[in-house]
Homo-oligomer: A and B are copies of this chain.
Amino acid sequence: MSKPRQTAAAAKDRVSCELSRGLIDWACDHEVETVWDRFEAAQPQCGFGQLGLCCTTCNLGPCRIDPFGAEDQAGVCGATAETITARNLARKSCAGSACHSDHGRHMAHAMLLMAQGEAPSYTVRDPAKLRVVAAEYDVKTEGRDDRQIARDLAEAMLADFGRQDGQARFVARAPAKQQEIWKKLQVTPGGIDRAIVETLARTNMGVETNPEQMLLAALKASLVDGWGGSMIGTEVSDILFGSPHPIRARANLGVLQAKDVNIVLHGHVPILSEVIVDAAQSPDMLALAREVGAEGITIAGICCTANEVLMRRGIPVAGSFLQQELAIATGAVELMVVDVQCIMPSLPRVASCFHTKIVSTDPRAQFPGAVHVELDERQALQIAKRIVKMGIDNFPNRNGHETRM
Protein backbone atom coordinates (compact mmCIF):
# COMPACT_ATOMS: atom_id res chain seq x y z
CA MET A 1 0.00 0.00 0.00
CA SER A 2 1.36 3.40 -0.93
CA LYS A 3 1.55 6.13 1.62
CA PRO A 4 0.79 9.87 1.60
CA ARG A 5 4.12 11.60 2.13
CA GLN A 6 3.08 14.34 4.51
CA THR A 7 0.15 15.46 6.59
CA ALA A 8 -2.56 16.12 4.08
CA ALA A 9 -4.55 19.32 3.90
CA ALA A 10 -8.15 18.89 5.02
CA ALA A 11 -10.29 17.36 2.27
CA LYS A 12 -12.53 20.42 2.37
CA ASP A 13 -9.59 22.52 1.19
CA ARG A 14 -8.99 20.17 -1.69
CA VAL A 15 -12.35 19.83 -3.45
CA SER A 16 -15.85 21.22 -3.27
CA CYS A 17 -17.59 17.88 -3.97
CA GLU A 18 -18.91 16.27 -0.74
CA LEU A 19 -18.62 12.73 -2.07
CA SER A 20 -15.03 13.29 -3.14
CA ARG A 21 -14.17 14.80 0.24
CA GLY A 22 -15.35 11.66 1.98
CA LEU A 23 -13.21 9.51 -0.31
CA ILE A 24 -10.18 11.74 0.13
CA ASP A 25 -10.54 11.48 3.90
CA TRP A 26 -10.88 7.71 3.63
CA ALA A 27 -7.82 7.49 1.35
CA CYS A 28 -5.77 9.57 3.79
CA ASP A 29 -6.87 7.42 6.72
CA HIS A 30 -5.93 4.28 4.82
CA GLU A 31 -2.64 5.61 3.42
CA VAL A 32 -3.78 5.48 -0.19
CA GLU A 33 -1.85 8.20 -2.00
CA THR A 34 -3.78 10.45 -4.38
CA VAL A 35 -2.97 13.40 -6.65
CA TRP A 36 -3.58 15.88 -3.83
CA ASP A 37 -0.94 14.21 -1.66
CA ARG A 38 1.58 14.32 -4.48
CA PHE A 39 0.72 17.93 -5.22
CA GLU A 40 1.35 18.89 -1.60
CA ALA A 41 4.58 16.88 -1.51
CA ALA A 42 5.75 18.76 -4.61
CA GLN A 43 5.46 22.16 -2.90
CA PRO A 44 7.12 24.54 -3.40
CA GLN A 45 7.09 23.93 -7.15
CA CYS A 46 9.89 25.50 -9.16
CA GLY A 47 9.11 29.16 -9.82
CA PHE A 48 11.34 29.31 -12.89
CA GLY A 49 9.40 26.45 -14.46
CA GLN A 50 6.05 27.95 -13.50
CA LEU A 51 6.94 31.19 -15.25
CA GLY A 52 8.40 29.43 -18.30
CA LEU A 53 11.78 31.01 -17.48
CA CYS A 54 13.66 27.72 -17.39
CA CYS A 55 15.19 26.48 -20.65
CA THR A 56 16.35 22.93 -21.35
CA THR A 57 16.14 23.31 -25.12
CA CYS A 58 19.83 22.56 -25.61
CA ASN A 59 22.54 21.08 -23.47
CA LEU A 60 24.40 24.32 -22.87
CA GLY A 61 21.72 24.63 -20.18
CA PRO A 62 19.61 24.19 -18.17
CA CYS A 63 19.38 27.99 -18.05
CA ARG A 64 17.18 30.10 -15.81
CA ILE A 65 16.25 33.76 -15.97
CA ASP A 66 15.83 35.39 -12.56
CA PRO A 67 12.50 37.26 -12.76
CA PHE A 68 13.78 39.67 -10.11
CA GLY A 69 17.21 40.05 -11.70
CA ALA A 70 18.82 42.37 -14.24
CA GLU A 71 16.99 43.20 -17.44
CA ASP A 72 19.77 42.06 -19.78
CA GLN A 73 19.88 38.47 -18.54
CA ALA A 74 20.15 35.68 -21.08
CA GLY A 75 20.67 31.94 -21.24
CA VAL A 76 24.09 30.53 -22.17
CA CYS A 77 23.25 30.75 -25.89
CA GLY A 78 22.09 34.33 -25.47
CA ALA A 79 18.33 33.67 -25.50
CA THR A 80 16.39 36.27 -23.53
CA ALA A 81 13.42 35.67 -21.23
CA GLU A 82 11.09 36.54 -24.13
CA THR A 83 12.68 34.00 -26.46
CA ILE A 84 12.79 31.30 -23.80
CA THR A 85 9.16 31.66 -22.73
CA ALA A 86 7.97 31.82 -26.34
CA ARG A 87 9.95 28.68 -27.25
CA ASN A 88 8.62 26.82 -24.22
CA LEU A 89 5.04 27.75 -25.07
CA ALA A 90 5.55 26.77 -28.71
CA ARG A 91 6.97 23.39 -27.74
CA LYS A 92 3.98 22.74 -25.49
CA SER A 93 1.64 23.84 -28.27
CA CYS A 94 3.27 21.34 -30.62
CA ALA A 95 2.97 18.52 -28.08
CA GLY A 96 -0.69 19.24 -27.37
CA SER A 97 -1.54 19.68 -31.01
CA ALA A 98 0.28 16.44 -31.89
CA CYS A 99 -1.72 14.54 -29.31
CA HIS A 100 -5.17 15.80 -30.25
CA SER A 101 -4.43 15.54 -33.94
CA ASP A 102 -3.18 12.00 -33.50
CA HIS A 103 -6.59 11.22 -32.01
CA GLY A 104 -8.15 12.57 -35.23
CA ARG A 105 -5.81 10.44 -37.33
CA HIS A 106 -6.81 7.39 -35.29
CA MET A 107 -10.49 8.12 -35.97
CA ALA A 108 -9.94 8.59 -39.72
CA HIS A 109 -7.95 5.36 -39.83
CA ALA A 110 -10.73 3.48 -38.03
CA MET A 111 -13.25 4.82 -40.56
CA LEU A 112 -11.01 3.61 -43.37
CA LEU A 113 -10.86 0.10 -41.86
CA MET A 114 -14.64 0.13 -41.42
CA ALA A 115 -15.14 1.23 -45.03
CA GLN A 116 -12.85 -1.52 -46.28
CA GLY A 117 -14.93 -4.07 -44.38
CA GLU A 118 -12.04 -4.85 -42.04
CA ALA A 119 -13.60 -3.50 -38.84
CA PRO A 120 -17.03 -5.15 -38.57
CA SER A 121 -17.68 -3.77 -35.09
CA TYR A 122 -18.11 -0.29 -36.55
CA THR A 123 -20.60 1.14 -39.02
CA VAL A 124 -21.89 4.49 -40.25
CA ARG A 125 -24.47 5.65 -37.71
CA ASP A 126 -24.98 9.10 -39.20
CA PRO A 127 -25.17 8.68 -42.97
CA ALA A 128 -26.52 12.23 -43.40
CA LYS A 129 -23.47 13.74 -41.74
CA LEU A 130 -21.20 11.43 -43.75
CA ARG A 131 -22.62 13.00 -46.89
CA VAL A 132 -22.34 16.56 -45.64
CA VAL A 133 -18.67 16.14 -44.69
CA ALA A 134 -17.90 14.16 -47.85
CA ALA A 135 -19.24 17.06 -49.91
CA GLU A 136 -16.87 19.41 -48.09
CA TYR A 137 -14.02 17.14 -49.14
CA ASP A 138 -15.29 16.98 -52.75
CA VAL A 139 -15.97 13.27 -52.34
CA LYS A 140 -18.69 12.09 -54.72
CA THR A 141 -21.82 10.91 -52.86
CA GLU A 142 -24.48 10.41 -55.52
CA GLY A 143 -25.38 6.81 -56.16
CA ARG A 144 -22.75 5.51 -53.76
CA ASP A 145 -23.21 3.55 -50.55
CA ASP A 146 -21.95 4.59 -47.13
CA ARG A 147 -18.83 2.50 -47.30
CA GLN A 148 -17.71 3.76 -50.67
CA ILE A 149 -18.13 7.35 -49.52
CA ALA A 150 -16.51 6.69 -46.15
CA ARG A 151 -13.46 5.15 -47.77
CA ASP A 152 -12.78 8.12 -50.02
CA LEU A 153 -13.49 10.53 -47.19
CA ALA A 154 -11.12 8.73 -44.81
CA GLU A 155 -8.38 8.79 -47.43
CA ALA A 156 -8.92 12.48 -48.10
CA MET A 157 -8.78 13.20 -44.37
CA LEU A 158 -5.56 11.20 -43.95
CA ALA A 159 -4.13 13.19 -46.85
CA ASP A 160 -4.75 16.35 -44.78
CA PHE A 161 -2.31 14.96 -42.22
CA GLY A 162 0.39 14.30 -44.80
CA ARG A 163 -0.08 17.19 -47.20
CA GLN A 164 3.08 19.15 -47.98
CA ASP A 165 1.28 22.11 -49.52
CA GLY A 166 -2.15 23.68 -49.78
CA GLN A 167 -4.53 24.18 -46.89
CA ALA A 168 -6.45 21.83 -44.61
CA ARG A 169 -9.91 21.18 -46.02
CA PHE A 170 -11.89 22.51 -43.06
CA VAL A 171 -10.23 25.93 -43.36
CA ALA A 172 -13.03 26.69 -45.81
CA ARG A 173 -15.47 26.51 -42.87
CA ALA A 174 -13.96 29.59 -41.23
CA PRO A 175 -15.50 33.00 -41.89
CA ALA A 176 -13.88 34.75 -44.86
CA LYS A 177 -12.59 37.54 -42.62
CA GLN A 178 -10.93 35.03 -40.32
CA GLN A 179 -9.32 33.33 -43.29
CA GLU A 180 -7.98 36.71 -44.42
CA ILE A 181 -6.40 37.32 -41.01
CA TRP A 182 -4.77 33.88 -41.03
CA LYS A 183 -3.43 34.48 -44.53
CA LYS A 184 -2.01 37.85 -43.55
CA LEU A 185 -0.28 36.33 -40.52
CA GLN A 186 0.83 33.27 -42.55
CA VAL A 187 -0.79 30.89 -40.08
CA THR A 188 -3.44 29.33 -42.35
CA PRO A 189 -3.75 25.67 -41.33
CA GLY A 190 -2.01 23.48 -43.93
CA GLY A 191 -0.64 19.95 -43.62
CA ILE A 192 -1.31 18.84 -40.04
CA ASP A 193 1.89 16.87 -39.43
CA ARG A 194 4.06 19.32 -41.33
CA ALA A 195 2.86 22.38 -39.39
CA ILE A 196 3.60 20.68 -36.08
CA VAL A 197 7.04 19.44 -37.20
CA GLU A 198 8.00 22.83 -38.63
CA THR A 199 7.03 24.72 -35.50
CA LEU A 200 8.82 22.15 -33.35
CA ALA A 201 11.91 22.55 -35.56
CA ARG A 202 11.86 26.27 -34.91
CA THR A 203 11.88 25.83 -31.12
CA ASN A 204 15.46 24.55 -31.16
CA MET A 205 18.40 26.59 -29.98
CA GLY A 206 19.68 28.87 -32.73
CA VAL A 207 16.59 28.67 -34.91
CA GLU A 208 13.60 30.99 -34.22
CA THR A 209 14.76 33.62 -31.78
CA ASN A 210 12.20 36.34 -32.45
CA PRO A 211 9.54 35.79 -29.76
CA GLU A 212 6.71 37.23 -31.86
CA GLN A 213 7.52 34.97 -34.78
CA MET A 214 7.80 32.03 -32.38
CA LEU A 215 4.34 32.74 -30.97
CA LEU A 216 2.88 32.97 -34.47
CA ALA A 217 4.44 29.59 -35.22
CA ALA A 218 2.88 28.23 -32.01
CA LEU A 219 -0.44 29.58 -33.22
CA LYS A 220 0.03 27.86 -36.57
CA ALA A 221 0.73 24.52 -34.90
CA SER A 222 -2.36 25.02 -32.73
CA LEU A 223 -4.72 26.11 -35.51
CA VAL A 224 -3.81 23.08 -37.57
CA ASP A 225 -5.17 21.00 -34.72
CA GLY A 226 -8.34 23.02 -34.17
CA TRP A 227 -9.18 23.24 -37.89
CA GLY A 228 -7.45 19.99 -38.83
CA GLY A 229 -6.79 17.06 -36.51
CA SER A 230 -9.35 17.73 -33.80
CA MET A 231 -12.05 18.77 -36.23
CA ILE A 232 -11.51 15.59 -38.23
CA GLY A 233 -11.72 13.60 -34.98
CA THR A 234 -15.03 15.20 -34.03
CA GLU A 235 -16.62 14.76 -37.43
CA VAL A 236 -15.59 11.12 -37.80
CA SER A 237 -16.89 10.39 -34.27
CA ASP A 238 -20.29 11.69 -35.29
CA ILE A 239 -20.25 9.75 -38.55
CA LEU A 240 -19.29 6.45 -36.93
CA PHE A 241 -21.15 6.75 -33.63
CA GLY A 242 -23.97 9.20 -34.35
CA SER A 243 -24.32 12.92 -33.83
CA PRO A 244 -25.24 13.71 -30.23
CA HIS A 245 -28.47 15.35 -29.16
CA PRO A 246 -29.61 16.62 -25.74
CA ILE A 247 -30.24 13.76 -23.31
CA ARG A 248 -30.67 13.40 -19.57
CA ALA A 249 -28.00 11.48 -17.62
CA ARG A 250 -26.42 11.15 -14.20
CA ALA A 251 -22.98 12.16 -12.97
CA ASN A 252 -20.47 11.83 -10.12
CA LEU A 253 -19.07 8.83 -8.29
CA GLY A 254 -22.52 7.79 -7.04
CA VAL A 255 -23.28 6.37 -10.49
CA LEU A 256 -21.23 3.30 -9.57
CA GLN A 257 -23.51 0.51 -8.33
CA ALA A 258 -22.62 -1.58 -5.29
CA LYS A 259 -24.37 -4.67 -6.63
CA ASP A 260 -23.16 -4.40 -10.24
CA VAL A 261 -19.93 -5.21 -11.97
CA ASN A 262 -18.51 -1.69 -12.38
CA ILE A 263 -16.33 -0.94 -15.37
CA VAL A 264 -14.91 2.56 -15.74
CA LEU A 265 -13.96 3.91 -19.16
CA HIS A 266 -11.15 6.44 -19.07
CA GLY A 267 -9.31 8.22 -21.84
CA HIS A 268 -10.27 9.94 -25.06
CA VAL A 269 -11.02 7.85 -28.11
CA PRO A 270 -14.60 6.64 -28.70
CA ILE A 271 -13.27 3.77 -30.83
CA LEU A 272 -12.61 2.01 -27.54
CA SER A 273 -15.40 3.30 -25.33
CA GLU A 274 -18.25 2.74 -27.79
CA VAL A 275 -17.37 -0.89 -28.31
CA ILE A 276 -16.94 -1.53 -24.57
CA VAL A 277 -20.47 -0.17 -24.06
CA ASP A 278 -21.71 -2.50 -26.81
CA ALA A 279 -19.95 -5.45 -25.19
CA ALA A 280 -21.23 -4.68 -21.69
CA GLN A 281 -24.82 -4.45 -22.93
CA SER A 282 -24.69 -7.79 -24.76
CA PRO A 283 -26.86 -10.59 -23.29
CA ASP A 284 -23.93 -13.03 -22.95
CA MET A 285 -21.93 -10.60 -20.83
CA LEU A 286 -24.98 -9.76 -18.68
CA ALA A 287 -25.59 -13.49 -18.15
CA LEU A 288 -21.96 -13.97 -17.12
CA ALA A 289 -22.25 -11.08 -14.66
CA ARG A 290 -25.29 -12.71 -13.04
CA GLU A 291 -23.40 -16.00 -12.81
CA VAL A 292 -20.80 -14.37 -10.56
CA GLY A 293 -23.51 -12.86 -8.33
CA ALA A 294 -23.79 -9.37 -9.73
CA GLU A 295 -27.13 -7.79 -10.61
CA GLY A 296 -25.79 -6.33 -13.84
CA ILE A 297 -22.96 -4.37 -15.43
CA THR A 298 -22.52 -0.64 -14.90
CA ILE A 299 -20.35 1.25 -17.32
CA ALA A 300 -19.29 4.72 -16.25
CA GLY A 301 -16.92 7.23 -17.80
CA ILE A 302 -14.07 9.35 -16.52
CA CYS A 303 -12.58 12.36 -18.27
CA CYS A 304 -13.09 13.03 -22.00
CA THR A 305 -14.13 9.57 -23.08
CA ALA A 306 -16.92 9.89 -20.51
CA ASN A 307 -18.32 12.72 -22.54
CA GLU A 308 -18.20 10.69 -25.76
CA VAL A 309 -20.42 7.93 -24.38
CA LEU A 310 -22.50 10.31 -22.26
CA MET A 311 -23.63 12.46 -25.14
CA ARG A 312 -24.31 9.60 -27.51
CA ARG A 313 -25.41 6.73 -25.24
CA GLY A 314 -26.45 8.34 -21.96
CA ILE A 315 -23.68 6.46 -20.11
CA PRO A 316 -23.24 8.11 -16.70
CA VAL A 317 -20.10 10.10 -15.87
CA ALA A 318 -18.26 8.81 -12.79
CA GLY A 319 -16.09 11.89 -12.56
CA SER A 320 -13.57 14.33 -13.92
CA PHE A 321 -9.83 14.03 -14.47
CA LEU A 322 -9.18 14.70 -10.77
CA GLN A 323 -11.55 11.94 -9.66
CA GLN A 324 -9.90 9.06 -11.53
CA GLU A 325 -8.13 7.79 -8.42
CA LEU A 326 -11.17 8.38 -6.21
CA ALA A 327 -13.28 6.17 -8.48
CA ILE A 328 -10.92 3.33 -7.60
CA ALA A 329 -11.01 4.32 -3.93
CA THR A 330 -14.75 3.61 -3.86
CA GLY A 331 -13.72 -0.05 -3.77
CA ALA A 332 -16.49 -0.77 -6.27
CA VAL A 333 -14.55 -0.70 -9.53
CA GLU A 334 -13.76 -4.10 -10.98
CA LEU A 335 -11.89 -2.74 -13.94
CA MET A 336 -10.79 0.60 -15.35
CA VAL A 337 -10.05 0.50 -19.07
CA VAL A 338 -7.90 3.27 -20.51
CA ASP A 339 -6.64 4.41 -23.91
CA VAL A 340 -4.69 7.68 -24.31
CA GLN A 341 -4.34 11.11 -22.66
CA CYS A 342 -4.89 12.18 -19.05
CA ILE A 343 -4.41 8.67 -17.65
CA MET A 344 -2.57 9.27 -14.36
CA PRO A 345 0.49 7.02 -14.20
CA SER A 346 -0.48 6.52 -10.56
CA LEU A 347 -3.54 4.41 -11.39
CA PRO A 348 -1.90 0.96 -11.11
CA ARG A 349 -0.39 2.03 -7.80
CA VAL A 350 -3.76 3.15 -6.40
CA ALA A 351 -5.45 0.07 -7.85
CA SER A 352 -2.93 -2.16 -6.07
CA CYS A 353 -4.60 -1.11 -2.80
CA PHE A 354 -7.88 -2.62 -4.05
CA HIS A 355 -9.10 -5.47 -6.21
CA THR A 356 -9.35 -3.13 -9.23
CA LYS A 357 -7.65 -4.07 -12.50
CA ILE A 358 -6.23 -1.38 -14.81
CA VAL A 359 -6.33 -2.42 -18.47
CA SER A 360 -4.47 -0.38 -21.08
CA THR A 361 -5.53 -0.81 -24.71
CA ASP A 362 -3.60 1.54 -26.95
CA PRO A 363 -0.19 0.74 -28.46
CA ARG A 364 0.79 4.38 -27.85
CA ALA A 365 0.19 4.27 -24.10
CA GLN A 366 1.29 1.53 -21.75
CA PHE A 367 1.42 1.80 -17.97
CA PRO A 368 3.75 -0.21 -15.73
CA GLY A 369 1.53 -2.22 -13.42
CA ALA A 370 -1.44 -2.31 -15.83
CA VAL A 371 -2.55 -5.30 -17.91
CA HIS A 372 -2.16 -4.52 -21.62
CA VAL A 373 -4.91 -5.83 -23.92
CA GLU A 374 -4.48 -4.07 -27.21
CA LEU A 375 -7.60 -2.94 -29.04
CA ASP A 376 -7.43 -4.01 -32.66
CA GLU A 377 -10.22 -2.35 -34.64
CA ARG A 378 -10.44 -5.48 -36.79
CA GLN A 379 -11.68 -7.53 -33.83
CA ALA A 380 -12.92 -4.76 -31.61
CA LEU A 381 -16.05 -6.37 -30.15
CA GLN A 382 -14.26 -9.63 -29.34
CA ILE A 383 -11.48 -7.76 -27.56
CA ALA A 384 -14.00 -5.51 -25.77
CA LYS A 385 -15.83 -8.61 -24.55
CA ARG A 386 -12.57 -10.08 -23.35
CA ILE A 387 -11.94 -6.91 -21.33
CA VAL A 388 -15.51 -6.82 -19.94
CA LYS A 389 -15.16 -10.46 -18.97
CA MET A 390 -11.95 -9.62 -17.07
CA GLY A 391 -14.06 -7.15 -15.10
CA ILE A 392 -16.79 -9.69 -14.46
CA ASP A 393 -14.26 -12.32 -13.36
CA ASN A 394 -12.86 -9.79 -10.92
CA PHE A 395 -16.23 -9.14 -9.22
CA PRO A 396 -15.91 -12.03 -6.72
CA ASN A 397 -12.64 -10.50 -5.48
CA ARG A 398 -14.65 -7.59 -4.12
CA ASN A 399 -16.80 -9.89 -1.94
CA GLY A 400 -16.96 -8.92 1.70
CA HIS A 401 -15.35 -5.57 1.14
CA GLU A 402 -17.18 -2.35 1.77
CA THR A 403 -17.84 0.08 -1.08
CA ARG A 404 -17.94 3.85 -0.72
CA MET A 405 -20.14 5.78 -3.12
Contacts and interface: CB of A to CB of B under 8 A. Distances in A.
Contacts of A385: none
A198 interface: yes
B35 A77 contact: yes
A135 interface: no
A192 B191 CA distance: 13
Contacts of A57: 95
Contacts of A94: 200
A80 interface: yes
Contacts of A96: 204
Categorize the interface residue count of chain A: 35 or more
A341 B207 contact: yes
A161 B164 contact: yes
Interface string A9-40: 00000000000000000000000000100110
Contacts of A191: 162, 193
Interface in A53-73: 54, 56-57, 60-64, 70, 72
B193 A345 contact: no
A197 to B, nearest CB: 5
Contacts of A345: 74, 77-80, 83, 206, 209
> How many chain copies?
2
B46 A62 contact: yes
A307 to B, nearest CB: 16
A124 to B, nearest CB: 22
Interface of A: 2, 5, 35, 38-39, 42, 45-46, 48-50, 54, 56-57, 60-64, 70, 72, 74-80, 83, 88, 91, 94-96, 98-99, 101-102, 105, 158-159, 161-164, 191-194, 196-198, 200-211, 213, 217, 340-347, 349, 364-368
Closest 6 CB pairs of A and B: A78-B346, A49-B62, A162-B162, A193-B193, A210-B366, A78-B345
